[in-house]
Amino acid sequence: MDDDLLGRIILRKLLGHRGDCDMAVNGREAVEAFHMAREENNPYDLICMDILMPEMDGVEALKAIREHEEKLGIFGEQRVKVIMITGKDDSKTILTSFREGCEGYVVKPVEKENLEKQIKELGLD
């Protein structure tokens, strides 16, 4: 999920070989897509989420996703894996993202090798 069109295109190219990729332009849309996928019994395995997005930022969206999973009794390894993607390379942003429940963090510009490494470490390869 990325509010930048070029960012969405790059992520789709990097991830498209892994399966279907849904795109969202803001955090609120990302949360709605997450809910719809769960309701259709086709939950996401991975969400790549930009931190800086309009309407609802990535950290707020991640928090909403984790709260929803908790209400459904989904914990630990059963949760969707989330990699935060952002241009912000500062320790406060990184710590906040991990505190809210992300499993990985990639700094823009997204490099294929780095993203693939994160995915592999999450056991999604």
| Per-residue confidence in pLDDT tens, the chain, 125 aa | 555 777 778 888 888 888 888 988 899 999 999 999 999 999 999 999 998 888 899 999 999 999 999 999 999 999 999 999 988 777 888 889 999 999 999 988 889 999 999 999 999 97
- Catalogue all structural domains in the chain, each as residue range(s) with its CATH number: 5-121 (3.40.50.2300)
Of 6, 2, 72, nearest to 35 by C-alpha is 72
Q: pTM of the entire structure?
A: 0.90
**List of E strands, the chain:** 46-50, 81-86, 104-107
